[in-house]
Amino acid sequence: MLEMFLIIFFALGVFFFLASLMKPINNKNLAENELKLVECSVCHNDFDENILFFKNMGQFNHKFAFCENCMEELYLDYQNERIGRVGKRKILTENNL
Ligand SMILES: [Zn+2]
């Protein structure tokens, strides 16, 4: 019986000795390659944070994230509305003259 305990104790000793010789896994490289997903504030889809545009806005200076598609869509909508407004202004000034 005592022999069995000695064998088990020796086996555990060898195991912990070998375990102490092993190098820990380098988590730095794994973390660098890992994608950090952030939700777009407009379409609510998740994107890699490196391709998002961040802007602090609002009363509480909250940080908002915008994806490329939403930015382009907002810009195009704004451009179209602006063109529409300039057109209306031209018609109004022509009518006033
Ligand atoms: Zn979006």
Residue 78 CA, distance from chain mean position? 26
CA dihedral sign of residues 11, 14, 20, 22: negative
Tokens matching residue 29: 């490289």
Q: Environment class of residue 52 by beta-carbon count within 10 Å: exposed (0-12), middle (13-18) or buried (19+)?
A: buried
Size of the chain in residues: 97
> What separation in Å is there between the alpha carbon of 74 and the centre of ligand 1?
10
The pLDDT assigned to 50 comes to 94
The pLDDT assigned to 34 comes to 79
Please state, in angstroms and rounded to a whole number, the distance separating the CA atoms of residues 55 and 40: 12
For the chain, the structural domain boundaries read 2-96
> What separation in Å is there between the alpha carbon of 71 and the centre of ligand 1?
7
> What separation in Å is there between the alpha carbon of 52 and the centre of ligand 1?
9
Tens digit of pLDDT at every position of the chain (97 positions):
778 778 888 777 777 777 777 766 666 665 667 789 999 999 999 999 999 999 999 999 999 999 999 999 999 999 999 999 988 888 878 777 6
